[in-house]
Amino acid sequence: MTDDLQTKKEKMIKETKSIILIIIAVLTFRSVFFEPFRIPSGSMIPTLMIGDFILVNKFAYGFKVPFTDLTIGDKSFDPVYMFGKSDPKRGDVVVFKYPKDLSVNYIKRVIGLPGDTLEIRNKVVYINDKPVEPKEFDGKEIMSDMDDKFKGYNLKFYKVKTGEHEHVIQQDNDNYFKVDFDKITIPPGKFFMMGDNRDFSYDSRYWGFISHEQIKGKAMFVWFSFIFPFGENPMKFRPGRIGTGIN
């Protein structure tokens, strides 16, 4: 009986160690390589829809020491880079720590880089005095899959090229709240972020710049898209979005 108890105890210890090692390996992988995130809001529509589950490349802008960019409660730590630290490119879609509350993750598009001048005139973005020309197109296909909360707005859709990224933005034709933005120069080490859903995005136009240390990684693709039924929100499953690359 004693031998049986000893054997069971040793087996339990061995299994516990294995589970702990697996958990550590998974957490390390998420910290250094890839991490999944869920899109809870519509600020990046039509690039990202509410309910999209995305995969983020955590080493796109440098290889970090595991667990050095943790946020615990109201305490946030800056990442320590082992090698390969680089700036995001204009147009990249990135996940970052929200400057007003570093425990919250945001996702936006990089519009302005360090040293750029940036202004907005009549909703057109000017970078270094050159406009990012929007080309309007028929967005019926986008509207057919639009999240319900935005279907009642007078939306217009535009193709733009931000850096090397060709993507779509949408604007509310009846919204004149943030039509213009005074010219600024982006400080060293800082980035200006905007959502593709331009009139429904709380971004750098409101809360300022982000730093490289706040960037968690680059969004790669949608691996699942599902809205859970909650309150008045109907269930919505978008199988056609699975595998969609994020440009």
Which positions are catalytic?
43, 108
- Per DSSP bridges, beta strands 165-172 and 181-185 are unpaired
CA 186 and chain centroid, separation: 21
Tokens linked to 9: 């105890």
Tokens linked to 116: 């750029």
Do 137 and 159 form a contact (C-beta atoms < 8 A)?
Answer: yes
Do 98 and 104 form a contact (C-beta atoms < 8 A)?
Answer: yes
Q: How far apart are CA 90 and CA 10, in angstroms?
A: 55
Who contacts 62 (Cβ-Cβ below 8 Å, separation ≥6)?
A: 79, 81, 82, 83, 84, 85, 86
Strand (E) or helix (H) holding 110: strand 105-112
* 108: nearest Cα among 184, 216, 223: 216
Helix intervals (H) in 108-200: 140-144
